[in-house]
Amino acid sequence: MTAMATGTGTRAAGPSFLQTFVSRHGSMMPTFAAVAILLVLFVGAEIFLRGDFITPRNISALLLDNAYLLVLAVGMTFVILTGGIDLSVGSVMAFSGILGARLLAEGTPAFVAVPAMLLGGAAIGLMIGILVQYFNVQPFIASLAGLFLGRGLAYVVSLSSIKVEEPGILWLQSTRIRLGDWYITPTGLIALGAVAIAAFVLHLTRFGRTIYAIGGSEQSARLMGLRTARAKVMAYVISGLCGGLAGLVLTAYSGAGYPRNGIGTELDAIAAVVIGGTILTGGRGYVIGSMIGVFVYGTIKTIISFMGAEQSWMQIIVGALLLLFIVVQRAIVARSEGRR
Amino acid sequence: MPADNEVPPIVEMRGITIRFPGVLALDDVDFTLRPGEVHSLMGENGAGKSTLIKALTGVYAIDSGTIRVAGEQRTFHSASDAQEAGISTVYQEVNLCGNLTVAENVMLGHEPRKGGGIDWRATQREAARHMESLGLAIDPRSMLASHSIAIQQLVAIIRAMVLEAKVLILDEPTSSLDRGEVEQLFDVIRDLRSQGVAILFVSHFLDQVYEISDRITVLRNGALVGEHPVEELPRDALVTKMIGRELEDLATLEKSSHRAIDRTGAPVVRAEGLGRRGVLEPADLDVYEGEVVGIAGLLGSGRTELVRLLYGADRPDAGRLEVRGAPAKVHSPRHAIDHRIAFSSENRREEGVVADLTVAENIVLGMQARQGWMRKVPRKDQDAVVAEYIEALGVRPANPHALVGNLSGGNQQKVLLARWLATAPELLILDEPTRGIDVGAKADIQKKVSELSSQGLSVIFISSELEEVLRLAQRVAVMRDRRKIGELDSTQVDLDGLIDYIANAGEGSAA
C-alpha cells in the first residue's frame, strides 16, 4: 500500500528536477540511447580512421545514400507506433520505382508518373490496412501478402531494369545545394521533409495522437471515442505512400527502376525504427528517433566499407544492436510498469 | 438528496433484449436514469449489469427495445456515439492509455488547436483546470502509467467531465481502491451529482452502494426485478431480490476456522526463509493437511508475491521449500503441479481462464496438462468431470459448451476453481478468488473451500475481505510492506483485532 499512500493529493515535497524529467520524458530514453550510439560511432570511426571520417562530404553522403531508407522508416514508424508491422515496403518501393521508370520510358509526363507511383504505394498500403482493421488479419500476415503482391506487380511491370532519362527525375539527384563543403540533394530534402511532416502529424494532430493511443491500448482508444479504425488504416496507407515515395527517391538515386530493388529493405527499415527507440509493441517512439536509427544504420555501413571489411559484418553488427535495443526497451517498459 | 420523479429522465431504456449464442443476456429490461441522481445497478454476476451498460454505451447492439436519451430515441453504434450524446463510462479496468501523459488522457480527441496543430500549452492548462476542479493535484505532464489505479480512475472521470457528460457510468470503480481513495471518489461523485450529472453506479460492495446511492435497480438472470429508492429497500431485501432466494446469511455459513488441525506430522508444504530481493523479504510458512491458511494484508503488501514464489511462478533467490517433509525444488509452475500444488491467480482474465474456449474445455485443461498432452483424457471422463463441477459449483449458464468469455466474472472464477480442483491438488492456492463477484457466488466458493478442506485439502486463501479470511482460515499470516509480520490464530482474534494487527503490529521493530 506504500504506492497508494503517495498516490493521492498534493505531493508533500516537490519532486526533484530529475524525477519530474524522468516521469515526463521516460519514453524518450531509448531515443537518447540511439543518439548516444550514433555519437559513439562517429567518434570511434573518427579516431579509428585518423580524422578521416567526420567530414562534410561523408555526413552529406550519409543522408543522400540513405534517403530512401529514411522515407521508408518514416512510414514504418506510424505502423509500428500502432503496434503493427509492415513487411511490404521493400516490394512496394521496387514496384513504385519500376512502374515510374516504365511510365516515363513510354513517354508519360513526370507529373502523371510521379503521382501514379505514390498512389500505387498508397493503394497497397490501403489494402493491408483494410485487411488488418476490418478482416482482423495479423499485420504480419497482411503485410506479407502485400510484400508478395508488390514484388509480383513489379515483375509484371518489367522483368529487367529500365533506365530513367526524364530530366526532372534525374534533377532530384544531380542537383547539389551547397553550403561550403556540405551539400544536399532534392532527394535528401524530400526525406527530411517527410520526417518533418511526420513529426508534425504525430505530435501536433489528433490523428497523430490517436496513433499513439492505439499503440498504448487500442481498446481504450476506441472506448475513449477516438477514430481508431480510420487511424489504423491510415497508418498503413501512409506506410504504403512512403514506400511509393521511397521508390521515387531510389529511382532518382540510381537513375533506373529495377524490379529486384529493395529485397529485405523492409527489415532494414524496421531495424532502423527499433534502433531509433520506437517500441515494437507500439505507443512509444519518435519519428526523429527513426531518423537517428537510419543514420546509425548508414554509419555502420559506411564504416564497414571504409574498413574494407566483409558486408556480412554489417548484418552482424545491426543484429547485435537490435538485440541490445530490444533488451533496453524491455527494461524501460518493465521499469515504468513496475513504478506503478 | 434523491432526485424526485418529476424530473424528466435523461436515459430511458425500454424492453431491452440482447441474445448471445446460447445465452439470453437481457430479457425485456427497463431502466430509467434521472439527472442529479446516483443510481446503482445491482445483481449477481451474470445478472446482466455489464450487458445493460454495454447496450447503453453502444458496445453491444440491442436485439429489441428502445433507448431514449434526453427524450430522443437513439441508436448507438459505438462508444464514441454514446460519448457524443453525453454518456461516458469509467470501467473497472481503467480504459486509458498509460503511454500518454495525464493531460493528454484527459483531453485526447478534444485538444484545443492553434494554427493547424494541437496547442499543447492550452491542452495542459485546460487539463490542469479540470483536474483542479475535481481536486486532483498531480503533474499533468507525467505519464499516466506512473500513477496508481485510483488516480487513473479519477483521471478517467475527469476525462468524462471534459466531454461534458450528462450521464456518467461507473462500472466497479472501487474494487481496487483503499478506503481513503473510495472517500475521495465519493466526494467527486457527490460533487458531480450536485451539478446535475446522472450517475450509474455498479459495485459489489453493499456498504458503498448504500452510502452513495439514491436509487437501486435490481437485475436477476437478465431480467428486471425492480427499481426502488434506496431508503425503501433494506439490505436483506436487496440481497434476497438479487439472488432470488433467501440468503443463508454468510455469517451463519459454517465457520471452518474453528476446526482443529492436526499439526503433528510433516506439513504439506513448508517454506523456510523464502524470498526474493526487491520482491519479498524472506518469510516462513507452513500449511498442514486439511488446513486453510489465510494471508491478510493490504493490496501490494506482498501477499501475491509470497504465493507466486511458493508456486514457482517467480523464482525465489533465498530460502527452501519442503513438500511433505522432503526438500523440493519448485522453480516453475510445472514443478508445482508435479507436487500437486495448484494456484488460481488474482488476475483471472489474464492468467486464468482462456476466454475463447468453452467451459468444458477450460475445466479439462488442467486435468489434461497434468496427465501429459499425449494421453488424451477419455471423452466420457471429461464429460463426467465437467458435469460434476458445473453442478457442484453452480456455474451459470450450466452449459458446458458456452464460451467462457461470455460468462460473468463470478462464473469465470468458478470455472477456474473447477479446473484446479479437477487436477486433484493437495494444496490449492487461491488469490482473491472472490474479488469482484457477487454474494451468491462468493457464498458458493466459500462453502466449497470449507467443504474441501474438511476432506483434507490444504488451502492458502488470500483475500482483501478480512471477514472472509477469518471465517475460512484457521491461521492467518499477515503481510505488510513486502514482509510477513506475523501469524494469528483466527479463533483468538476478531476483525478489529486483525485490522489493528495489519495496521500496527511490529511497528518500529523487525518481526
State the pLDDT at residue B508.
43
Q: Given pLDDT bands bounded at 50, 70 and 90, which one contains residue B14?
A: very high
Output the nine-digit C-alpha cell for A227.
Answer: 477514430
> Which whole number is the average pLDDT over B206-216?
90
Partners of B286 in the beta sheet? Answer: B270
Q: Which comes out higher in pLDDT, residue B256 or A82?
A: A82
**Phi, psi values for residue A176, rounded to 5°:** -120, 115
Helix A206-216, helix A67-81: angle, nearest 10: 60
How far apart are the C-alpha atoms of B130 and B173, rounded to whole Å? 20
Pairing of strands B269-276, B292-296: unpaired
Which amino acid is present at B356?
D
Q: What percent of chain B has pLDDT over 70?
A: 93
Whether this model's pTM surpasses 0.80: no
* Structural domains of chain B, with CATH: 11-250 (3.40.50.300), 255-340+426-440+453-511 (3.40.50.300), 348-424 (no CATH)
State the pLDDT at residue B190.
93
- Chunk chain A into consecutive blocks of 10 residues (it has 340) and report each block's average pLDDT, rounded to whole numbers: 38 61 74 88 85 85 94 97 96 96 94 96 97 95 96 95 91 89 92 97 94 92 88 97 97 94 93 91 92 93 83 84 81 60
Sequence-distant (≥ 6) Cβ neighbours of residue B289 within 8 angstroms = B261, B262, B265, B267, B268, B426, B456, B458
Residue pair A326/A280 in contact (Cβ under 8 Å)? The answer is yes
Partners of B89 in the beta sheet? Answer: B169
Residue B43 pLDDT > 60:
yes
How far apart are the C-alpha atoms of A274 and A136, rounded to whole Å? 25
How far apart are the C-alpha atoms of B354 and B415, rounded to whole Å? 10
Which amino acid is present at A168?
G
Partners of B267 in the beta sheet? Answer: none
Closest CA to A259 of A330, A184, A156, A190: A156
Q: How far is A176 from chain B (nearest CA, A)?
A: 33
Cis peptide before B333 (omega within 30 of 0): no
> Which whole number is the average pLDDT over B103-125?
90
State the pLDDT at residue A161.
94
Contacts of A20 in chain B (CB under 8 A): 139, 142
Tell me the pLDDT tens digit for each residue of B79-93: 788 888 899 888 877
Q: How far is A134 from chain B (nearest CA, A)?
A: 15
Residue pair A212/A202 in contact (Cβ under 8 Å)? The answer is yes
Contacts of A205 in chain B (CB under 8 A): 117-118
> Which whole number is the average pLDDT over B481-506?
83
Q: Given pLDDT bands bounded at 50, 70 and 90, which one contains residue B259?
A: confident
Residue pair A123/A150 in contact (Cβ under 8 Å)? The answer is no
**Phi, psi values for residue A267, rounded to 5°:** -75, -35
Number of neighbours of residue B402 by Cβ within 10 angstroms: 21
How far apart are the C-alpha atoms of B455 and A90, rounded to whole Å? 65
How far apart are the C-alpha atoms of A84 and A287, rounded to whole Å? 15
State the pLDDT at residue B365.
84
State the pLDDT at residue B145.
84
Tell me the pLDDT tens digit for each residue of B366-419: 777 777 767 777 888 888 888 888 888 888 788 888 888 888 777 888 888 888
Detail the DSSP E strand segments found in chain A: 162-163, 177-179, 182-184, 256-257
Residue B460 pLDDT > 60:
yes
Closest CA to B305 of B330, B270, B267, B278: B278
Number of neighbours of residue B507 by Cβ within 10 angstroms: 9
Contacts of A225 in chain B (CB under 8 A): 78-80, 83-84, 109, 163
Q: Given pLDDT bands bounded at 50, 70 and 90, which one contains residue B465?
A: confident
Could you state, in order of their start, the residue ranges of all structural domains in chain A? 29-335
Given the candidates 1.10.357, 1.10.3470, 2.60.40, 3.30.70, the CATH classification of the domain at A29-335 is 1.10.3470
Contacts of B159 in chain A (CB under 8 A): 224
Q: How far is B95 from chain A (nearest CA, A)?
A: 4
State the pLDDT at residue A110.
92
ipTM of this complex prediction, to 2 decimal places:
0.83
- Record: contact B111-A221, CB cut-off 8 A: no
Tell me the pLDDT tens digit for each residue of B151-180: 888 899 899 888 888 999 998 888 777 778
Specify the range with the lowest mean pLDDT, choosing from A176-185, A322-331, B60-69, B333-342: A322-331
Interface of A with B (CB under 8 A): 1-4, 7-11, 15, 20, 23-24, 26-27, 200, 203-206, 209-210, 212-213, 215-217, 219-227, 283-284, 336-337, 339-340
Output the nine-digit C-alpha cell for B103.
Answer: 493531460
State the pLDDT at residue B255.
67
Sequence-distant (≥ 6) Cβ neighbours of residue B367 within 8 angstroms = B377, B382, B385, B419, B422, B423
Q: Given pLDDT bands bounded at 50, 70 and 90, which one contains residue B6?
A: low
